[in-house]
Amino acid sequence: MQNLTRIVVATDFSLPANAAITRAALLARQHGAELHLLHVLSPLALYPGQAVEPAANGDARLAAARSRLNATAGRVLERYDVHVHIVQRVGRAHTRIGEYANEVAADLVVAGVRGEDSLLSLMLGSTAWRLLRVCKRPVLVVRHVPIGPYCQVLAAVDFFPHTQAVCTWAKQMAGNETVHVLHVLAPQDQDEQANESMRTIAGNLMANLQSDLPYETEGQIEVGYPPVMILQHAAHCNADLIVLGRHGQGGLEAYLLGSVSKDVAQAANCDVLLVDAD
């Protein structure tokens, strides 16, 4: 994978959104990428209540948002020497973010965990299903204010088609640091023989995967409930980013956002990057 060229970061001007902007700015500086700062204003915010002059009121709100975007862009330029493209849209957040990311062919979409307009629900609640239908771009969920580049990156793999993309993105985010690669086997009840056979197969798959990767990795196989084991391993290696595939292996929910991905993204104490096979 080549360096990132275009990053879209969504903001609602909340503190979590500011953390997402900081991470996006760091990545843009690291990769020499364009940074697009996008604010989506709900139509209801333009016409609150029964205003006598709704058009004028809406223009004032748009102008106020534009002023805040300009101020944010100025701070990013000053602190990180990254030029910011300012973008405003009106509509439903998931639709406008997805449309804009597709419009500019963004390599990455970045959003904070919570916000005044609930970017958490955008990522993990009902709005997430709609966003994933209109935007197939990798999405980075930022949970903490970053202090520098990612140092400990965990790639959670399942050996399905998106495994290669997960590892590629993990290395992209880790830079020169070693990538930790983890596969979790769901236990087969009390059948120890079946568990041992699956572990052997998984070990061979892990060895093949590592031999195919043109960079250093630390591979590990665990047995247990995947979301729990991924989170435990992330805590053990002090991961500041978990990378995993976004799609599951069956059912409508799994198609839109795999249950493992959803559980990890909701419960992780670090950032999470969700990617697709392509």
Per the structure, the count of domains in the chain is 2
Residue 91 and residue 69 in one domain = yes
Residue ending a domain, among 89, 109, 142, is 142
Residue 48 and residue 115 in one domain = yes
Name the residue among 175, 184, 178 with its Cα closest to residue 245.
Answer: 184
Residue ending a domain, among 97, 119, 142, is 142
pTM of the model: 0.86
The predicted pLDDT at position 199 comes to 87
The pairing of strands 139-142 and 271-275 is antiparallel
Quick check: is 268 in a domain? yes
Quick check: is 135 in a domain? yes
Containing structural domain, residue 252: 153-275
Residue 96 and residue 203 in one domain = no
The predicted pLDDT at position 124 comes to 47
Residue 228 and residue 123 in one domain = no
The predicted pLDDT at position 128 comes to 45
The predicted pLDDT at position 218 comes to 93
Residue 73 and residue 193 in one domain = no
> How far is C-alpha 7 from the chain's CA centre?
12
pLDDT (tens place) for every residue of the chain, 278 residues total: 567 999 999 888 888 889 999 999 999 999 999 999 999 987 765 555 545 445 556 678 889 989 999 999 999 999 999 989 999 999 988 789 889 999 999 999 998 876 444 454 544 444 445 555 666 789 898 988 998 999 999 999 998 888 999 999 999 999 899 999 999 988 776 667 877 888 899 999 999 999 999 998 999 999 889 999 999 999 999 999 999 987 644 444 444 456 788 788 888 999 999 898 66
Quick check: is 17 in a domain? yes
Name the residue among 145, 156, 241 with its Cα closest to residue 206.
Answer: 156
Residue 125 and residue 161 in one domain = no
Instruction: Report the Cα–Cα distance between both ends of the chain, in Å, rounded.
Output: 12
The pairing of strands 6-10 and 108-112 is parallel
Strands, sheet with 108-112, edge to edge from the N-terminal-most edge strand: 84-90, 34-41, 6-10, 108-112, 139-142, 271-275, 241-245, 153-156, 179-185, 217-223
Residue 103 and residue 137 in one domain = yes
Quick check: is 187 in a domain? yes
Residue 124 and residue 252 in one domain = no
Residue 170 and residue 138 in one domain = no
Quick check: is 46 in a domain? yes
Encode pLDDT of 23-67 as tens digits: 999 999 999 999 999 999 877 655 555 454 455 566 788 899 899
What residues form DSSP beta bridges with 179? 153, 217
Residue 18 and residue 49 in one domain = yes
Q: Which CATH number belongs to the domain containing residue 201 in this structure?
A: 3.40.50.620
The predicted pLDDT at position 141 comes to 87
Radius of gyration of the chain (CA): 20
Q: Give 36's contacts (C-beta < 8 A, 6+ positions apart).
A: 6, 7, 8, 9, 84, 85, 87, 100, 104, 106
